[in-house]
Structure 1
Amino acid sequence: MNSATNVIHDQTYIGPEGVLAKRKEYFYPCTHHFYKQPPQIVRGKMQYLYDNEGKSYVDFFAGVSVVACGHCNDRITAKTIEQLQTLQHTTTIYLTQPMVDLAERLANGVLPGELKRTFFCNSGSEANEGAMLLARLHTKRRHFIALEQGLHGRTFLTMGVTGIPMWRSDDYLDTGVAFIPRPYQPDTDIDTAARRSVEALRELLAAKGDTFAAMIVEPIQGNGGMMVPPDWYFKEVKALLEQHGVLLIADEIQTGFGRTGRMFAMEHYGVVPDILSMAKALGNGVPIGAFATTDQIAASFNRPSASTFGGNPVSSATALAVLDYIEQEGLVERSAQVGGKLIAGLRALQANYTVIADVRGKGFMAGAELRGADEQASAELTDLVLEQMKDRGFIIGKNGVGRNVLAFQPPIMMPEEDVEAMLTALEAVLADVTSR
């Protein structure tokens, strides 16, 4: 498919070089890609992606934790197409059934604790923005607490509580945010770091606890490098917040819907948040976002509000099919079992390759931090590994404050044999890059 006359979906085929040229000419300069020689992806099916030359790749990134049920999953896309051909859009002003069916399904057996009321929107950033607005309306307070190196979105409020410098691109962010250390520090063990974080929160609340509406957290920091706090951490955080009437918002955008071996990652810690935000995997590639809360807190959101596309029939019907597939295929349990083998395999590689400084994660949300001579060398090593793994037919992500953490967030239906094949390929790549 090298001829300019070839056509894909009624579009003149231009090839990877043409796509790169158009990105450069028509996109903003903030848009980047991972590879020196990026493939042009033209098709996806379950755990596979295919480029314009027909080469297949096993996808271990799932579009940043999105297609948990697999690319173009027939059982899900059939429901999407059926709804698309029946009723595509009206807006939340009118009565449609898929939206209320989805809210009911979430409230009965999916959401934890007493979380019942759901507001639908279009993305994770919008879900977190709405959750923060809800917290302000309920508490009648303005300020927020966030963890350092967290990522919560690219809207105004969500960027304000984002602690990763590279994602704080607005020079005029709201200053009403207090950051405390996250429960991870490279110079100490995880429990000591978590204790420092809790003590910092205690001191902050003692000084001005009555000014904060909520604390927003990722149960596992994704873009921050797959940071997993100790099991006791969030229980102590929640208890401190409750003493001062501060709400807890759990940002489950990346961690939700089975990704970590539980339906929601907060369940690992035995804590039910006051507000829970969700997106990504709920739509399996169809845009959807939502934030959920209790009857009591929801009652505070009584000023007029709506979302033009939030909860539209197509995204709602798709999400219902996603929940069906997760339940019928046992994906939550699968994430714990097969994802656990992925993490065990990465730790076995760590034992043999000193460039792997740490392996972190739960279920099918894992990170392997690579360590070179310095920060730049670490990032360059990570890029080299990504490039070679791509050439061998495996797509892996990267994250971390220094962009030196290999990110594994594959479709949860990923077969165990593909996990084993990826680990074998990764070992060969590590052997190559460390022998130079």
Structure 2
Amino acid sequence: MARALGRLRPVWTWGWRRHLGSDALRQQELKSSFSMKAKMPPCDFSPEKYESYPYEHMLKIRKQNLFPTLVTCYKKPLLLHQGHMQWLFDYEGRRYLDLFAGVATVSVGHCHPKVTAAAQKQLGRLWHTSNIYMHPAIHEYADKLTALLPDPLKVVCLTNSGSEANDLAMLMARLYTRNFDLICFRGGYHGASPYTLGLTSVGVFKPSIANGFGCQTTMLPDVFRGPWGGSHCRDSPVQTIRKCSCSQGCCEANDQYIEQLKDTLRTCASKAVAGFIAEPIQGYNGAVQYPKRFLQEAFRLIRERGGVCIADEVQTGFGRTGSHFWGFQTHDVVPDIVTTAKGIGNGFPMAAVITTREIANILAQIFHFNTFGGNAVACVVGSAVLDVLAEDDLQKNSEEVGTYMLLEFAKLRDKFEIVGDVRGKGLMIGIEMVKSKDSRQPLPAEDVNQIGEDCKDMGVLFGMSGIYGQTFRIKPPMCITKQDVDFAVEVFQAALMRHLEKTSAK
């Protein structure tokens, strides 16, 4: 009984007052909360006047001339016109704080002036030759990028997207090991190309045709939603509210999830495997983190079976996790292959596979060619992004502002029963919504979407995904400030209050 009553307290003590006949007081508190509108931080940038097609004509074109797979967020899709650092502007000049960064892609800020200037200068010099010729940009960029990786990861192949990079990593793993089976996590997203669909273990991406030959999934070591987890499992300023009885230096959840991986290797894979791929923090699935030592032990098991270990850094790379430049470094491991995209080009289409000389040499046995990989403009953009990351100290900003954001959102978890988990590291954050903390059952996607709609109407753009559509994803441009965080938290709190008001009125 005490536990049940304790559950009433976090929701602003409304439950207590309702039982005491204070419904009117509760409604008054809600209304006053909406009158205190969150104040958007100032911005000294003014967007250009929108001069393209009218909104309704844009909708008509989208319906008639674009693939139906190009889905949009929000009931009334946003028509965006311009971006500046952490801000986006729609066709009517409305300003939005961008907490999703084009799906974790805009790393240093929308239209960062230094990156923009570098691209403009290169466009006036040389657009494209393909890599059948030498040009300075690809060599300079390869030198700068590989300098940021530990030995022996010093050979890079440039591609155009994360799916392409993971395609190539799969090919290299199989050619190098002469094995076929690849192991991946349930809930992982590694691309939607025909080859990478085998690694992507999210049902909505799976077509009803044969796909994914030789790809075996293993249980996701999710310490919030999975069968095991406690209050000290993950590398995050915010832990789960699940209690833990582990002794010092021991993680029972990690041991259980490792046993599940061993079981997968015993039952679903051949004796020798090609490799294992993992995101250091799962992206699409809502910033899911694993027990701290899991990847160390997983890498050892895979290498014992002759496989290589692939770190998918498409979302976690380039300082986003704050404490380290690469996500795999937060797990104290060195993979055999690293794939990256998204933040590498701040929105420009480019990606990379970085590996050892020994593994890279395997491609010399076949003819491998990528027309646009290593494009001159892409390499100049990538180089400028690396410069800005260092000059603006954005990795440090990710750590400081990201930690602040995690702790502020964790306060809302402690106040609202439907906020089940707040997790992440740096500026890669997930807020998982539940029906109740005890059940951990996902809040219905339609409710999550409506909360996101309300946040958008108040000027903040969240990502929304997860296996059940239950998680808000926060991966903003890494130039975001603590003042921006305060605004976002106020807006999110107001949206949660509005949701509770609607549900209590039913």
Range into which the TM-score falls when normalised by the shorter chain: over 0.9
Matched, 1:381 2:447: yes
Between the two proteins, the alignment pairs up a number of residues equal to 428
Q: What is the 5 A alignment of 1:183-332? A: 183-184=221-222, 185-189=225-229, 192-206=252-266, 208-261=269-322, 262-302=324-364, 303-332=366-395
Q: TM-score, normalised by structure 2?
A: 0.81
Q: What is the 5 A alignment of 1:113-192? A: 113-169=151-207, 171-184=209-222, 185-189=225-229, 192=252
User: After TM superposition, where is structure 1 displaced by more than 6 Å over at least 4 residues in a row?
Assistant: 8-12, 373-376
> Whole-Å Cα distance in 1 between the matches of residues 207 and 87 of structure 2?
33
Q: Please state how far the C-alpha of 1:104 moved relative to its aligned partner.
A: 1.0
Task: Give the residue type in structure 2 aligned to 1:139.
Answer: T
Give 2:11's aligned residue. none
| Mapped contact 1:360–1:367 kept (Cα < 8 A) | yes
Moved more, 289-298 or 162-171: 162-171
> Whole-Å Cα distance in 1 between the matches of residues 167 and 340 of structure 2?
12
Q: Secondary structure at the match of 1:435?
A: helix
Per-residue CA deviation, residues 63-103 of structure 1 (Å, 9 max, x unaligned), is 01111100000011100110111000000111111111111
Q: Tell me: CA distance 1:212–1:79, structure 2 relative to 1, closer, same or farther (3 Å).
A: same
Q: Tell me: CA distance 1:204–1:376, structure 2 relative to 1, closer, same or farther (3 Å).
A: closer
| Mapped contact 2:85–2:112 kept (Cα < 8 A) | yes
Matched, 1:334 2:397: yes
Q: TM-score, normalised by structure 1?
A: 0.94
> Whole-Å Cα distance in 2 between the matches of residues 247 and 376 of structure 1?
35
Q: Tell me: CA distance 1:360–1:10, structure 2 relative to 1, closer, same or farther (3 Å).
A: closer
Matched, 1:416 2:482: yes
Task: Give the residue type in structure 2 aligned to 1:172.
Answer: A
Q: Please state how far the C-alpha of 1:329 moved relative to its aligned partner.
A: 1.2
Per-residue CA deviation, residues 40-82 of structure 1 (Å, 9 max, x unaligned), is 1000011110011111101000001111100000011100110
Q: Please state how far the C-alpha of 1:171 moved relative to its aligned partner.
A: 1.6
Task: Give the residue type in structure 2 aligned to 1:344.
Answer: L
Q: Secondary structure at the match of 1:44?
A: strand
Q: Secondary structure at the match of 2:444?
A: helix
Q: Please state how far the C-alpha of 1:30 moved relative to its aligned partner.
A: 2.0
> Whole-Å Cα distance in 1 between the matches of residues 320 and 51 of structure 2?
38
Q: Please state how far the C-alpha of 1:11 moved relative to its aligned partner.
A: 10
Task: Give the residue type in structure 2 aligned to 1:412.
Answer: M
Q: Please state how far the C-alpha of 1:326 moved relative to its aligned partner.
A: 0.5
> Whole-Å Cα distance in 1 between the matches of residues 135 and 371 of structure 2?
13
Task: Give the residue type in structure 1 aligned to 2:211.
Answer: L
Larger Rg: 2
Q: Please state how far the C-alpha of 1:38 moved relative to its aligned partner.
A: 2.1
Q: Secondary structure at the match of 1:212?
A: coil
Per-residue CA deviation, residues 198-226 of structure 1 (Å, 9 max, x unaligned), is 11222333455544211111111111121
Give 2:32's aligned residue. none
| Mapped contact 2:181–2:270 kept (Cα < 8 A) | no
Task: Give the residue type in structure 1 aligned to 2:329.
Answer: E
> Whole-Å Cα distance in 1 between the matches of residues 285 and 208 of structure 2?
19
Task: Give the residue type in structure 2 aligned to 1:424.
Answer: E
Q: Please state how far the C-alpha of 1:285 moved relative to its aligned partner.
A: 1.0
Q: Please state how far the C-alpha of 1:287 moved relative to its aligned partner.
A: 0.5
Task: Give the residue type in structure 1 aligned to 2:398.
Answer: S
Q: Secondary structure at the match of 1:272?
A: coil
> Whole-Å Cα distance in 2 between the matches of residues 431 and 206 of structure 1?
49
| Mapped contact 1:16–1:39 kept (Cα < 8 A) | no
Q: Tell me: CA distance 1:188–1:210, structure 2 relative to 1, closer, same or farther (3 Å).
A: closer
> Whole-Å Cα distance in 1 between the matches of residues 119 and 334 of structure 2?
31
Q: Tell me: CA distance 1:385–1:10, structure 2 relative to 1, closer, same or farther (3 Å).
A: closer
> Whole-Å Cα distance in 1 between the matches of residues 382 and 84 of structure 2?
18
Q: What is the 5 A alignment of 1:12-51? A: 13-51=52-90
Q: Secondary structure at the match of 2:200?
A: coil
Moved more, 124-133 or 205-214: 205-214
The gaps in structure 1 that reach 5 residues or longer are: 1-7
> Whole-Å Cα distance in 2 between the matches of residues 66 and 90 of structure 1?
26
For residue 433 of structure 2, the aligned residue among 362, 370, 380 is 370
Q: Secondary structure at the match of 1:301?
A: helix
